[in-house]
A and B are shown apart, each in its own frame.
Chain A
Amino acid sequence: MRYLPLTDTDRAAMLSKVGASDIDALFVDVPEEARLNGPIEGLPMHASEMAVEKHMRRLSKKNLAASDAAFFLGAGAYKHHIPASVDHIIQRGEFLTAYTPYQPEIAQGTLQMLFEFQTQVARLYGCAVANASMYDGSTACWEAVAMASRIARGKKRKVVLSGALHPHYAEVVRTMAKFTQDEIAGAPPSLTAKPDDDGLIARIDSDTSCVVVQYPDILGRLPDIAKIAEAAHEQGALVIAVVTEPVALGGVKSPGEMGADIVAGEGQSIGVGLQFGGPYLGLFAVRDEKHVRMMPGRLCGETVDAQGKRGFVLTLSTREQHIRREKATSNICTNSGLCALAFSVHMTLLGEKGLRLLAMENHRLACIAADRLSKVPGVEVLNETFFNEFTVLLDGNARQIVRQLTEQDVLAGVSLGRLFPGNDALANGLLVAVTETTTEEDVETLASALEEVLA
């Protein structure tokens, strides 16, 4: 077996050293009736690298890769170009095969990277402090809600969710709230050109611990976080802004700048591929340093070594499960270290200038797409505002149309029927995402395909 270095001679010598007659003598504590006497039946035996690669390749071929289609899907996962050097760097063994940096003297590479990552995320979000990453956007969103509850010390139990929060994110929050007794006030999204900020504000009361608003929202619209924050803060509630498309923040004001207290989101767009939904990268930041000790997850901080040289360590770990056990701020242990590295490398390559240009290009192409699609008979663009994703209303069931178009290798977008099943009012809605990887030819392909199918 190519991954197992021990030879039979080694094994014999080692068994003799440990005083065991055979290998099963080392499994003597396993009750006899539970011991398996040979390889588990009905499962294949070991295979060569070539055979495994062939098998996996056959499975991979059954999928339509995004790059092989005219591709317009978003809704929390976006197709962006990832520079080749990103993948090269994350495959360096010193990053790929390192553990969590618990021994800082020999983990400065990971630690300095995390410090830089935290700084990049904090600045992108307009916040004071970001943590070293969470699992993904949906779990980061839930952790933000849990943190707001902790800050409210159980005195405020109501969590107000914007109707235009990603439905998977809302479902994760609802699931967890069942077990923590938070009361969730949600609502389905309404198909209006502007987000219903006033409706959301009207649901905030003095029992509200936090209000969760997605920016841009699930329909692609831009809610006015500043206005919502003003109203929430009057009631003593925190504002949690959820960002599923970080590239947007190259083009629009940051949530922190507009008064959001906690910003949580998905970082996949920068450096991390689509990968059928994971692993992704949860981003988490607080606007005000005073909330740092309530944060979940790992934090990397600057310090000095015994000779006065600057160095970095994991810090404030008295919040974490390995120290605090049942009193920890979260049960999170492993996070998304390698995805954080990919994000940080890509963000370093982009820089301020690159991210702003990337955002401009995404928005420019999205505007072109919206204008072109609005000329298709039977298609209406819903949004007044959007960044790189917008909703169109079709003369027909969007989900069926999306399925139909796959036959021409057009992945037309995410239908609202897929996201909000059972909600007939939304069945004609289609969410269309456009990034720098979309060409004007792709837009034309989609437009003509829709023209044909809606005719």
Chain B
Amino acid sequence: MNAPRKTPNASGWKPGTPVEGDNAMSGPDTATGNRALMLEEPLLFEIGHSETTGVDFDFAAKLDLAGVEQPTPPTPAPCGRLGNFERSEPIGLVGLTEPETVRHYTRLSRQNYAIDLGLFPLGSCTMKHNPRLNEKVARMPGFADVHPLQPVDTVRGALEVINELAFWLIHLTGMHSIAMSPKAGAHGELCGILCIRAALEARGDARKVILVPESAHGTNPATAAFAGYEIEDIPANSDGRVDFDALKSRLGPDVAGVMITNPSTLGLFERDLKAISDAVHEAGGFVYCDGANFNAIVGKVRPGDLGVDAMHINLHKTFSTPHGGGGPGSGPVVLSEALSPFAPLPYTSRTKDGVVHLVEEENADSFSEEHFGGRMQHFGRMTAFHGQVGMFTRALSYILSHGADGLRQVAEDAVLNANYILRSLEDVLDAPFAHSGPCMHEALFSDKGFADGLSTLDLAKGLIDEGYHPMTMYFPLVVHGAMLVEPTETESKAALDQFILALRSVAERAKAGDETLKTAPFHAPRRRLDETQAARKPVLAYKDQSVPAGTPVPSEVGGR
């Protein structure tokens, strides 16, 4: 391990260093607008044609086993059955051949930051390495190429995957059962809240209020409102945790439940969660736990031991299914014994003979009679089919690779990495809760001490020039200019050291009032983008411009 360098860059250069001319780093303008490997790419609609296609069809020629092409005319269609609905107008699509397509998207891909390129410290998002074995497994034909409505005897392996992952998630959380179908975290939250509402209605108890801390993810209040609840804030105490006494005094016959994130979005473990759960249960309510931050405690603590009634698990966070530039996610919800009867359909269940059954609308009642004493009162259905099975295969492969011991190590290394960042930077960045003990999987800083006129946004954009994706900014809302840094366990110490060096340098510039930060980034594919214009005059789809042939389009001249 090399000692950290004293200067940010071997040459001594750093963003903001005065250079000769307008910008010696970028050199003179180029005719194409490209800059070596930084390549501009036009919009598909500016380069494609309605007559071009990158797909060939068999009906022009058939390939026999010997590989000899034998042109055979297609069997003519019997008279069409489209009635009066046959398309008469063009759709307005354009196509590219395969080489053009591969190049278009490859060039676009190079304008993205990604975990594969470097540390991605987005707090609360758990950007960890995505093992490629999981991608390989998900593509096995027995998983990738099966239809959700095939007769169950032809998909026993897929049902076993769902059930085996369910088994792991139930045991890792110490809960009673699980709903696997929710499509993402927010969908899982909705599932959990609907279970709570169904359980309350089943006992004829119409409660109206859900309590949510101010530090919660925006999805929490949005979900509870969607399910018809009024939202009330839970105050925090001075060390950033839920104010237990205030919460307790608010509990009553109108409170359906509380939604608590643990560890919280401040990166803190809610020490009083068990006591909170007991008090909420005592008052007849339920406890929803936002499991977005489960990565910090997997294998170390079971939410079931803390009295939680429902918790979603973001498979795309803790269990490493790829984020894919914004999904797909997957949000199974573990449930307590009290909520289990209300779980949505469909679900899988393994009976003593080892067979995994699929329980849907048609057999829900009979299955419940036979195996659960008729207790099941499912609240309905969250989605068509069985959930994100393609994510289940990946998550199961991840879990089996780590095992019970490896998952515990995941949490320990994630927490160690976050504390290492916290303690390495608290002298230069304000860490509002550093005094209250160790953090969990993420370190929280504020903009206190920045020079006037410089903000968290400026620091974040400066970090882009250092080659990093910024941390989560301005969240949680309860901390001014919040910066939430989550390194995850898949970063080496050397990678952390270089990130700390970069963040320290940018933080020092922000404190010293380095004005160049205000216009950073300088070295990204784009400078700061005008979000106000985007919202004021929304352009949300490409509109064909009638320009004479041969006129260069914006991207062909560097976007100008």
Q: Tell me the complex Cα distance, A122–B540, Å.
A: 10
Q: Which of A249, A277, A325, A370 contacts B387 (CB 8 A)?
A: A277
Asked whether, in the complex, the Cβ of B528 is within 8 Å of the Cβ of A29, the reply is no
Q: What's the nearest-Cβ distance from chain A to residue B325, in Å?
A: 4
Q: Does B244 lie at the interface of the complex (its beta carbon under 8 Å from any beta carbon of A)?
A: no
Which residues in A have their C-beta under 8 angstroms from that of B390? 273, 275-276, 278-279
Number of interface residues of A (CB under 8 A): 214
Q: What's the nearest-Cβ distance from chain B to residue A41, in Å?
A: 8
Q: What's the nearest-Cβ distance from chain B to residue A89, in Å?
A: 5
Asked whether, in the complex, the Cβ of B90 is within 8 Å of the Cβ of A276, the reply is no
The total number of A-B Cβ pairs within 8 Å is 732
A171 with B534: in contact, given A5-B490, A52-B400 (CB under 8 Å)? Answer: no
Q: Does B225 lie at the interface of the complex (its beta carbon under 8 Å from any beta carbon of A)?
A: yes
Asked whether, in the complex, the Cβ of B113 is within 8 Å of the Cβ of A103, the reply is yes
A139 with B325: in contact, given A273-B145, A331-B226 (CB under 8 Å)? Answer: no
Contact with B along A320-344 (1 / 0, CB 8 A): 1111111110111111111101000
Q: Which of B6-14, B249-257, B266-274, B501-509 contacts A (4 or more CB under 8 A)?
A: B266-274
Q: Does B231 lie at the interface of the complex (its beta carbon under 8 Å from any beta carbon of A)?
A: yes
A303 with B534: in contact, given A19-B423, A56-B393 (CB under 8 Å)? Answer: yes
Q: Which of A10, A60, A353, A419 contacts B143 (CB 8 A)?
A: A60
Which residues in B have their C-beta under 8 angstroms from that of A35? 300-301
Q: Does A294 lie at the interface of the complex (its beta carbon under 8 Å from any beta carbon of B)?
A: no
A98 with B137: in contact, given A14-B493, A275-B389 (CB under 8 Å)? Answer: no
Asked whether, in the complex, the Cβ of B389 is within 8 Å of the Cβ of A61, the reply is no
Which residues in A have their C-beta under 8 angstroms from that of B164? 59
A67 with B490: in contact, given A139-B383, A306-B528 (CB under 8 Å)? Answer: no
Contact with B along A1-45 (1 / 0, CB 8 A): 111111000110111011110010111111101111011101111
Q: Which of B280-288, B414-422, B444-452 contacts A (4 or more CB under 8 A)?
A: B414-422
Q: Tell me the complex Cα distance, A159–B529, Å.
A: 41
Within B514-538, the residues touching A (CB, 8 Å) are: 519, 521, 524-531, 533-535, 538
Asked whether, in the complex, the Cβ of A341 is within 8 Å of the Cβ of B87, the reply is no
Asked whether, in the complex, the Cβ of B75 is within 8 Å of the Cβ of A368, the reply is yes
Q: Which of B63-71, B127-135, B332-340, B368-376 contacts A (4 or more CB under 8 A)?
A: B127-135
Q: Tell me the complex Cα distance, A145–B147, Å.
A: 27
Asked whether, in the complex, the Cβ of A45 is within 8 Å of the Cβ of B218, the reply is no
Q: Tell me the complex Cα distance, A118–B541, Å.
A: 6
Q: Which residue in chain B gives the minimum CB-CB distance to A349? A: B54
Which residues in B have their C-beta under 8 angstroms from that of A3? 129, 131, 401-402, 406, 490
Asked whether, in the complex, the Cβ of A13 is within 8 Å of the Cβ of B493, the reply is yes
Number of interface residues of B (CB under 8 A): 211
Which residues in A have their C-beta under 8 angstroms from that of B143? 56, 60, 63, 275-276
Q: Tell me the complex Cα distance, A289–B95, Å.
A: 26
A62 with B147: in contact, given A94-B116, A326-B224 (CB under 8 Å)? Answer: no
Asked whether, in the complex, the Cβ of B93 is within 8 Å of the Cβ of A347, the reply is yes
Which residues in A have their C-beta under 8 angstroms from that of B45? 116, 119
Asked whether, in the complex, the Cβ of A351 is within 8 Å of the Cβ of B53, the reply is yes
A112 with B41: in contact, given A62-B156, A106-B469, A279-B183 (CB under 8 Å)? Answer: yes
Which residues in A have their C-beta under 8 angstroms from that of B106? 89, 92
Q: What's the nearest-Cβ distance from chain B to residue A98, in Å?
A: 4
Within A236-295, the residues touching B (CB, 8 Å) are: 249-254, 257, 273-280, 292
Which residues in A have their C-beta under 8 angstroms from that of B122? 99
Contact with B along A290-316 (1 / 0, CB 8 A): 001000001111111111111111011
Within B284-308, the residues touching A (CB, 8 Å) are: 297, 299-302, 305-306
Q: Tell me the complex Cα distance, A297–B67, Å.
A: 48
A278 with B530: in contact, given A6-B413, A406-B153 (CB under 8 Å)? Answer: no
Within A147-170, the residues touching B (CB, 8 Å) are: 166, 168-169
Asked whether, in the complex, the Cβ of A11 is within 8 Å of the Cβ of B93, the reply is no
A26 with B415: in contact, given A5-B490, A371-B78 (CB under 8 Å)? Answer: yes
Contact with A along B40-72 (1 / 0, CB 8 A): 010111001111111101110000000000000
A34 with B328: in contact, given A4-B413, A348-B54, A353-B53 (CB under 8 Å)? Answer: no
A350 with B423: in contact, given A40-B404, A52-B400, A115-B43 (CB under 8 Å)? Answer: no
Q: Tell me the complex Cα distance, A166–B149, Å.
A: 13
Q: Tell me the complex Cα distance, A73–B438, Å.
A: 54
Asked whether, in the complex, the Cβ of B95 is within 8 Å of the Cβ of A26, the reply is no
A6 with B493: in contact, given A42-B171, A62-B142, A308-B560 (CB under 8 Å)? Answer: yes
Which residues in A have their C-beta under 8 angstroms from that of B530? 303-306
A175 with B379: in contact, given A79-B147, A251-B87, A403-B153 (CB under 8 Å)? Answer: yes
Q: Which of A196-204, A206-214, A379-387, A445-453 contacts B (4 or more CB under 8 A)?
A: A379-387
Asked whether, in the complex, the Cβ of A34 is within 8 Å of the Cβ of B48, the reply is no
Which residues in A have their C-beta under 8 angstroms from that of B109? 89, 92, 94-95, 109
Q: Does B91 lie at the interface of the complex (its beta carbon under 8 Å from any beta carbon of A)?
A: yes
Which residues in B have their C-beta under 8 angstroms from that of A45? 403-406
Q: Tell me the complex Cα distance, A113–B110, Å.
A: 12
Asked whether, in the complex, the Cβ of A40 is within 8 Å of the Cβ of B299, the reply is yes
A333 with B322: in contact, given A29-B268, A108-B112, A406-B154 (CB under 8 Å)? Answer: no
Asked whether, in the complex, the Cβ of A95 is within 8 Å of the Cβ of B527, the reply is no
Q: What's the nearest-Cβ distance from chain A to residue B162, in Å?
A: 9
Q: Which residue in chain A gives the minimum CB-CB distance to B470? A: A103
Q: Does A128 lie at the interface of the complex (its beta carbon under 8 Å from any beta carbon of B)?
A: yes
A278 with B539: in contact, given A40-B172, A179-B227 (CB under 8 Å)? Answer: no
Q: Which residue in chain A gives the minimum CB-CB distance to B402? A: A46
Which residues in A have their C-beta under 8 angstroms from that of B495? 5
Asked whether, in the complex, the Cβ of B325 is within 8 Å of the Cβ of A26, the reply is no
Q: Tell me the complex Cα distance, A45–B156, Å.
A: 25
Asked whether, in the complex, the Cβ of B531 is within 8 Å of the Cβ of A303, the reply is yes
Q: Tell me the complex Cα distance, A175–B153, Å.
A: 28
Asked whether, in the complex, the Cβ of A309 is within 8 Å of the Cβ of B527, the reply is yes
Which residues in A have their C-beta under 8 angstroms from that of B379? 175, 178
Q: Which of A77, A253, A313, A357 contacts B88 (CB 8 A)?
A: A253
Contact with A along B418-456 (1 / 0, CB 8 A): 011011100000000000011000000000000000000
Q: Tell me the complex Cα distance, A176–B197, Å.
A: 12
Q: Which residue in chain A gives the minimum CB-CB distance to B543? A: A119
Q: Tell me the complex Cα distance, A114–B187, Å.
A: 22
Q: Tell me the complex Cα distance, A272–B551, Å.
A: 36
Q: Tell me the complex Cα distance, A95–B130, Å.
A: 12
Asked whether, in the complex, the Cβ of A43 is within 8 Å of the Cβ of B381, the reply is no
Contact with A along B380-415 (1 / 0, CB 8 A): 111111111111010011001111111111101101
Asked whether, in the complex, the Cβ of A20 is within 8 Å of the Cβ of B145, the reply is no
Q: Tell me the complex Cα distance, A92–B406, Å.
A: 27
Within B75-134, the residues touching A (CB, 8 Å) are: 75, 77-96, 98, 101-102, 104-106, 108-117, 120, 122, 125, 127, 129-131, 133
Asked whether, in the complex, the Cβ of A20 is within 8 Å of the Cβ of B528, the reply is no
Asked whether, in the complex, the Cβ of B389 is within 8 Å of the Cβ of A103, the reply is no
Q: Which residue in chain A gives the minimum CB-CB distance to B406? A: A46
Asked whether, in the complex, the Cβ of B328 is within 8 Å of the Cβ of A39, the reply is no
Contact with B along A49-63 (1 / 0, CB 8 A): 101110111111111
Asked whether, in the complex, the Cβ of A94 is within 8 Å of the Cβ of B158, the reply is no
Q: Tell me the complex Cα distance, A194–B104, Å.
A: 44
Q: Tell me the complex Cα distance, A77–B105, Å.
A: 26
Asked whether, in the complex, the Cβ of A130 is within 8 Å of the Cβ of B326, the reply is no
Q: Which residue in chain B gives the minimum CB-CB distance to A220? A: B81
Asked whether, in the complex, the Cβ of A62 is within 8 Å of the Cβ of B157, the reply is yes
Which residues in B have their C-beta under 8 angstroms from that of A391? none
Q: What's the nearest-Cβ distance from chain B to residue A11, in Å?
A: 6
Q: Which residue in chain A gives the minimum CB-CB distance to B226? A: A331
Q: Does B555 lie at the interface of the complex (its beta carbon under 8 Å from any beta carbon of A)?
A: yes
Asked whether, in the complex, the Cβ of B222 is within 8 Å of the Cβ of A330, the reply is yes
Q: What's the nearest-Cβ distance from chain A to residue B378, in Å?
A: 9
Asked whether, in the complex, the Cβ of A94 is within 8 Å of the Cβ of B117, the reply is yes
Starting from the known contacts A36-B301, A367-B79, 10 additional A-B residue pairs (CB-CB under 8 Å) come to A93-B117, A99-B326, A171-B381, A222-B83, A305-B529, A348-B104, A351-B95, A356-B87, A363-B82, A411-B154
Question: What 3 A-B pairs come out closest when comparing CB atoms?
Answer: A351-B95, A175-B380, A338-B324
